């Protein structure tokens, strides 16, 4: 598959207006859909886009266009650039953050500063995709929106992955000479042998009748204790009243 020409829609606009090529030929050359090229011809697509001449741009020759105009089945071939430009992918620097997530970066920075103070500013910059000055403003509470910043996990915000966060924390912990999970609870899976042993033990004793230990009576349920002398002392006035009536 040939490479895409520079500014494909502008190139398609020029080819539609200045050549007799079919919509299919222009679509294949510009890597567009045939209906999109038809929309350009009808004025429904790419309105306001100025056409770009692929001949002066060094992407097509006049002879190549003439071949296409003579044969509707001919597929135009783009000229290969004589200059090979090496494009290196940057492996350092801050991570790219989508525009929709950039407003959440101060919250993510505040979370990292609170729960992972061992992380250097360079690690926070890579995880969140921010600058050192922004980190300093969040730390010093001098950020323009400091009153509304709340610490939020950057993983839950979709700014970085849990794997990248764990790797950065472990790397910072190794440099500091302390365990990476010193302040975080350790969560490990139960070995399969223990799970199977527990299940077998439960199945073996499934038919056993449950036994319950007798519970101690609560203070409210305990029987009250009476003093005999006080009881008889209360009954004496009642007995005298009955004798007087008789």
Residue span of the structural domain in which 41 resides? 8-70
- On whether both 55 and 114 belong to a single domain, the answer is no
- On whether both 116 and 165 belong to a single domain, the answer is yes
> Domains in the chain: how many in total?
2
Q: What is the full DSSP assignment across 51-112? A: P--TTTTTS--HHHHHHHHH-TT----PPPPSS----PPP-SSPPP--GGGGGGHHHHHHHH
Decide which of 149, 176, 203 is a domain's last residue: 176
Q: Average model confidence (pLDDT) for the chain?
A: 75
State the Cα–Cα distance between residues 69 and 163, nearest whole angstrom.
55
Per-residue pLDDT tens digits for 171-194: 988 887 765 454 444 334 445 555
- On whether both 166 and 115 belong to a single domain, the answer is yes
Per-residue pLDDT tens digits for 127-170: 988 899 999 999 999 998 888 999 999 888 888 888 899 999 99
Per-residue pLDDT tens digits for 28-83: 999 889 898 998 888 888 777 888 899 888 888 999 999 999 998 999 888 876 55
């Amino acid at each position: 598959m040939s490479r895409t020409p520079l500014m494909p829609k502008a190139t398609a606009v020029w080819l539609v207006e200045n050549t007799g090529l079919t919509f299919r030929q222009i679509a294949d050359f510009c890597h567009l859909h045939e209906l999109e090229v038809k929309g350009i011809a009808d004025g429904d697509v790419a309105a306001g886009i100025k056409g770009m001449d692929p001949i002066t741009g060094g992407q097509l020759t006049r002879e190549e266009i003439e071949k296409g105009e003579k044969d509707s089945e001919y597929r135009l071939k783009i000229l290969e650039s004589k200059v090979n430009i090496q494009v290196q992918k940057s492996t350092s620097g801050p991570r790219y953050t989508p525009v929709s997530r950039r407003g959440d970066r101060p919250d993510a920075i505040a979370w990292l500063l609170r729960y992972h103070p061992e992380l250097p500013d360079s690690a926070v910059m890579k995880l969140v995709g921010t600058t050192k000055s922004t980190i300093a403003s969040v730390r010093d509470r001098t950020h323009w929106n400091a009153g509304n910043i709340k610490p939020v996990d950057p993983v839950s915000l979709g700014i970085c992955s849990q794997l990248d966060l764990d790797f950065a924390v472990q790397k910072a912990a190794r440099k500091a000479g302390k365990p990476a999970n010193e302040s975080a609870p350790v969560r490990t899976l139960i070995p399969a042998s223990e799970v199977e042993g527990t299940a077998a033990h439960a199945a073996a004793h499934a038919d056993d009748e449950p036994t319950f230990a007798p519970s101690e009576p609560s203070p409210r349920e305990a029987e009250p204790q009476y003093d005999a002398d006080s009881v008889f002392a209360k009954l004496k006035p009642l007995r005298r009243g009955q004798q007087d009536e008789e």
